[in-house]
Structure 1
Amino acid sequence: MADYDVVIIGAGAAGVGVARRLAGSGLSIAVVEASARVGGRAWTLGLADMPLDLGCGWLHSAERNPWVGIAESAGFSIDRSPTSWGEQYRNLGFPEADQKAAGEAYDAFERALRESPPPSDRAADALPADGEWNGFIEALSGYINGAGLGMLSVEDYLAYDDAASEVNWRVPAGYGTLVSASLPPVPLHLSTPVERIDDGGATLKLVTPRGDIRARSVIVTVATNVLATGGLRLPAALDDHAHAATRLPLGLADKLFLAFDDEVVPPDSHLLGNPKSACTGSYYLRPFGRPIIEVFLGGAGALALEDVGLDGAAAFAIDELAGLLGNDVRRKLRLIAGSAWARADGFGGSYSHARPGHHAARTTLAAPWQDRLFFAGEACSPTDFSTAHGALATGIAAADAVLAQRNSISSSIGP
């Protein structure tokens, strides 16, 4: 006897999407989550009366992002002001001529990816030898992909780039707040990691430290690193899924939030730390007019700074900011929060990228098994990976596949 018709493993954006689609379907469903909270890599920390997104924070491709409609239906406000990413406050440390040259170098790199992609499918092989702005391009890869270009598939990069728009909005209450608030009232088992899934014949058995759970169908939405390292062991017949997960590792992007009480700086200003270094911070000054600086670190820079801890990372960021804003700014800056996704249990990173030659691993990972075991999550999206809306869409698709399979069974049985 199954405990549930459907069990959803993971309460991140994909798991929430599954639960929203299946709620009210007549099927008994439950969500099993390893951590003590809902949201996954969408995580808003409420601190000093300010919602701080330690995970995803932008509604990317916002004009088609389904979280926008979900947010508005639930009464969340949406900030539609343009981003400041491409701007350098007062051109500090990055003169206009250099900004123009760096932008042209990045455009040339993207043209090379499209017009003469390297046979290796390795994005770094499209960089010019000893290019003056290679560090700038690598830094952008760290922010966008969470990984350096040497670890990145050209085909994967272009699949995302072709689908994405330049429209990016924000949820002032926090993207993580939105995702966690969107889970419908279904049975939820927090702090319950699933260690393995066994094929029990008519049912699938989920083995957890809190006891076994049986389900007719299971939808797995965990991060690729969990599958790749055996944190969740699948039936032996799904070794190809576990292997695909190793081809889709999580890159790394971390955030720091520094207290910054200086109203002279205009709200939503931006600074890039060192435009010629791959290991540098991207600084959003006074987002929403709040007395903070949001520090974004990606790729190799984020990995290196996790090794020195939050205090060491904050010291690095403060040094970069002091080099741009003047040494007096040090007394105005104080660490108030930060993330360390590489060290976070159940994640081990931020969002997926395909290794060179392995963009097709996304399709392998997303393939269902025996119409009983389904997969969802940002890494399963062929074009919107690394985003909360990509995760949501794959969750909805997996739920629809479950419903279609159940309807097929009902039709074959007949009245």
Structure 2
Amino acid sequence: MRRLFESICPMNSEPDIAIIGAGAAGVGAARRLAKSGLSVSVFEALPRIGGRAWTLNTPVAAIDLGCGWLHSADRNPWTRIAEEAGIPVDSRPSAWHRQDRDFGFPRAERDAARAAFGRWAERVAEAPPPSDCAIDAVEPGEPWLAYMQALSGYISGDELERISAEDYAAYDEASTENNWRLETGYGALVAATMPASVELHPATPIQSISLEGSRLTVRTERGTIRPRALVITVSTNVLASDAIAMPSSLDPWREAALQLPLGNNEKLYFEITDGHSFDDESHVIGNPRDPKTASYYIRPFGKPVIEVFLGGRGARAVAENPEAAFPRAMEELSALFGSGIHRELRPLAASDWTNTPSIRGGYSHALPGHAAARQALARPFDNRIFFAGEATNRTDFSTAHGAYESGLRAAEEALQALGR
């Protein structure tokens, strides 16, 4: 297991394979390539390993500011990796489908709202709209549309108007609905799993990639390298931008990335400082009639925190006005638990994925009509550049295990191209 943070080390100017990105996909590629006998260098713009997997150690608890649940845990490779490392995996059902004490969302309304979402999901899978636009599978006059938009924000990071029905159905069909957890943190597991044998360069953004002779030329803020092969795992929002200068021959990959934008997802955490208003392992949705509403997971593992999860419109509001995020969440909680909770809570930590230059959002979704862009993005270029990341996974996109598996796939392609 590798340390979470690494000091700057000397740079091999001609590694066999370079990996751009030390998130779950980069870790997956590095773990496969570490067994090959080839020289491997990993470059990460952030000063830490993990990318969108980030466990922050606070004075009161270790909290996941990025991915926090082992989705499809019964087939998720991170489950096996955790168990092999002796890290306990908690397989208790989540509290997502409960509303603590029926506050603001009685059982009859919950049943009606979930039934509406279930009917929509069934139509998406069995009778998808010709437009491939997810909103077109919603029944006219649907009274629970705001609730469905909130769920779309949590699941896909965007509203139904911008979601491919085919893409959503592919994920939903593959999901096993087993969502498990790691008390020590998902991000901590990802970060600790980078193999020690690879050359790691954190806080080293890539400036440009060019094709020169038999080797590639990759320029960084710390120098230039010339690898034989390159695995790119950056997010689609970064790939589609001008953050990394690339030759025009890679424009088709940029165009595919444009059709797979990252949605918006953010987390806030409150510390529970006093009082007895909140029960362990409980959950509420703030306002099911507001598409910007948050999902509140209360005292996970009995820790004195509330995890506030926002998606779509709610997450965009946080990114646009961070100072208003905690007051708005406090307002929603006060409407459910009473104004006295102001004395029991204080802001602890918040993510800012949308405004992080090397990430720029939550996780990918295909725009209507563009589910096939995932396959296009996953294609190698010239048997020298290989693409990985959750967005390249046809069914497990938006997850850390989908990213990990894509890293393994890209590493295998690179090894075959190099005759290994």
What interval of TM-score do these two structures reach, taking the shorter chain for normalisation? over 0.9
Structure 1: runs of 5+ lacking an equivalent: 409-415
8 Å CA contact 1:4–1:215 kept in 2: the answer is: yes
Q: In the alignment, does 2:291 pair up with 1:278?
A: yes
Single out whichever of 174-183 and 254-263 deviates more from structure 2: 254-263
Tell me by how many angstroms 1:262 deviates. Answer: 4.1
Query: Do the aligned residues in 1 keep the contact of 2:207 with 2:218 (CA within 8 Å)?
Result: yes
* 1:287-298 matched pairs, under 5 angstroms: 287-298=300-311
Contact 1:228-1:242 within 8 A present in 2 as well: yes
Report sequence identity in percent. 50
The 5-angstrom pairing of residues 115-130 of structure 1 reads 115-130=126-141
Q: How many residues align?
A: 407
Letter matched to residue 160 of structure 2: L
Distance in 2 of aligned mates of 1:405 and 1:151:
37
Q: 3-state DSSP class of the match of 1:351?
A: coil
Cα distance in 2 for partners of 1:2, 1:285 equals 49
Provide the residue aligned with 1:45 in structure 2: 56
Residue of structure 1 aligned with 2:91, choices 80, 84, 93: 80
Partner of 2:119 in structure 1? Answer: 108
Residue of structure 1 aligned with 2:186, choices 175, 190, 212:
175
Deviations 1:230-274 (CA, angstroms, capped at 9, x unpaired)? 212332212100000110000011100001144453211000011
SS in 2 for 1:17: helix
Secondary structure (helix, strand or coil) at the match of 2:129 reads coil
The answer to whether the Cα contact below 8 Å between 1:362 and 1:379 also exists between their aligned partners in 2 is: yes
Partner in structure 2 of residue 28 of structure 1:
39
The residue aligned with 2:8 is: none
Structure 2 counterpart of 1:248, one-letter code: L
* Residue identity matched to 1:302: A
Q: Of 366, 371, 389, which aligns to 2:378?
A: 366
Structure 1 contact 2–216 (Cα < 8 Å) conserved: no
**Amino acid aligned to 1:255:** K
Deviations 1:195-235 (CA, angstroms, capped at 9, x unpaired): 22100111000011211111000000000011111212332
Secondary structure, aligned partner of 1:62: coil
TM-score (normalizing by structure 2): 0.95
Secondary structure of the residue that 2:324 maps to in structure 1? helix
Task: Choose the corresponding residue for 2:212, options 194, 197, 200.
Answer: 200
Pairing of 1:7-406 with structure 2 (within 5 A): 7-185=18-196, 186-260=198-272, 261-263=274-276, 265-309=278-322, 311-406=323-418
Unaligned 5+ segments in structure 2 are: 1-11
CA positional deviation for 1:132: 0.8
Query: Displacement of 1:406 after TM fit?
Result: 2.4
Contact 1:156 1:354 (C-alpha < 8 Å) held by counterparts: yes
Amino acid at match of 2:51: G
CA offsets 1:16-44 (integer angstroms, 9 cap, x no match): 00110111311000101111111000011
Q: TM (normalized to structure 1)?
A: 0.96
Give the counterpart letter for 2:224 in structure 1.
D
Q: Conserved in 2, the CA contact under 8 Å of 1:21 and 1:399?
A: yes
The residue type paired with residue 418 of structure 2 is R
Displacement of 1:2: 6.2
The residue identity in structure 1 corresponding to 2:182 is V
Assess, with a 3 A threshold, how the Cα gap between structure 1 residues 319 and 161 changes in structure 2: closer, same or farther. same
CA contact (8 A) 1:43 1:177 kept: yes
8 Å Cα contact 1:227-1:233 kept in structure 2: no
| Structure in which a larger fraction of residues adopt helix | 1
Q: Tell me how far 1:407 sits from its aligned partner.
A: 2.7
Q: Distance in 1 between matches of 2:276 and 2:419?
A: 59
Code of the residue aligned with 2:117 in structure 1: it is Y
2:178 partner SS: coil
Contact kept, 8 Å, 1:250 with 1:348, in 2: the verdict is yes
Cα displacement string for residues 280-322 of structure 1 (whole angstroms, at most 9, x for unaligned residues)? 010001111011110001011110122221x311111110001
In 2: Cα distance, 1:173 partner to 1:259 partner: 17
CA–CA separation in structure 2 for the residues paired with 1:162 and 1:114: 8
- Structure 2 residue matching 1:215: 3-state secondary structure: coil
Give the RMSD, CA atoms, in angstroms. 1.3
Post-superposition Cα deviations, 1:314-335, rounded to whole Å, max 9, x if no partner, equal 1111100010011111111110
Helix, strand or coil at the partner of 1:343: coil
Checking the alignment, whether the CA contact within 8 Å between 1:251 and 1:299 is kept in structure 2 is yes
Shift of 1:360: 0.5
Distance 2:122 2:29 in 1: 38
The question of whether the paired residues in 1 share the 8 Å contact of 2:128 and 2:137 is answered with: yes
Q: How far apart, in 2, do the equivalents of 1:361 and 1:158 lie? A: 15
Aligned AA (1:135): A
